[in-house]
Amino acid sequence: MLFINIAMFMTSDGDDSTLRGDYLAKARAMIAPTMRMKLFQTVSGSDTPRTLPYSGSVNDERDGAKLRAMCHAAVPAGIGIPVIFCKFFQQIDFGYTVLTSDAQNGGVQWLPYILINTRSKAWRNGVLLHELIHAAYGESQPTPRRGDRDPHDSDQNSVFNANDSDIRQPGQSPNLALPAVHRRALEHAYFTTWGP
């Protein structure tokens, strides 16, 4: 069995247990039956995320490294990919994957980590899995056939499509698909391990 290992954190005002539970449930359902989600306990004896000493809005393109350093200070021997639940300045972005080469890391070689916006919620709940796919590809984000630089799928039903909303769209199914190519990327990610 393959396990996607996640270490969850949240800012002091970034807790939303419903959002977190719905995103985890959707990711778990979509990776089954060949993979499972495994939560590294950042709080001993609990699956509740460790609270970081940060409150207020987060600029996803500037503040991620600050939060990532707080994760390391709180849990220096963590396992898996850090996923930080926080409030973004803007409601329109549901999540953001900070890659190793991102300028906000200031040269620190953090492996990819994820910021999840608790200010708004995607109605199809695919945000966590979408960001895990970005993290799995790391510096080698896929290049679509249509020739632009957007790495996302054009299929509206793919969990790796960029167009989502916090409002149900007319005629759009709540179901999402995990294309095989992205499943393979997850299987080989730095945060995925094999176990009985």
Give the count of domains, the chain.
Answer: 1
Q: Report phi then psi at 73, rounded to 5.
A: -65, -40
- How sure is the predictor about 147, in pLDDT bands with cuts at 50, 70 and 90? low
Q: What CATH number should be reported for the domain holding residue 13?
A: 3.40.390
Contact between residue 135 and residue 116 where contact means Cβ atoms under 8 Å apart: no
- How sure is the predictor about 146, in pLDDT bands with cuts at 50, 70 and 90? low
Taking the CA atoms of 69, 75, 76 and 79 in sequence, report the sign of the dihedral they define. Answer: negative
- pLDDT mean over 52-67: 95
Tens digit of pLDDT for each residue in 82-132?
Answer: 999 999 998 789 999 999 999 999 999 999 999 999 999 999 999 999 999
Range of the domain at 151: 2-194
Q: Tokens 């300028």 appear where?
A: 103
Contact between residue 195 and residue 10 where contact means Cβ atoms under 8 Å apart: no
Q: Report phi then psi at 20, rounded to 5.
A: -60, -45
Residue 144 pLDDT exceeds 80: no
d(C-alpha 101, C-alpha 106), whole Å = 9
Residue 145 amino acid letter: R
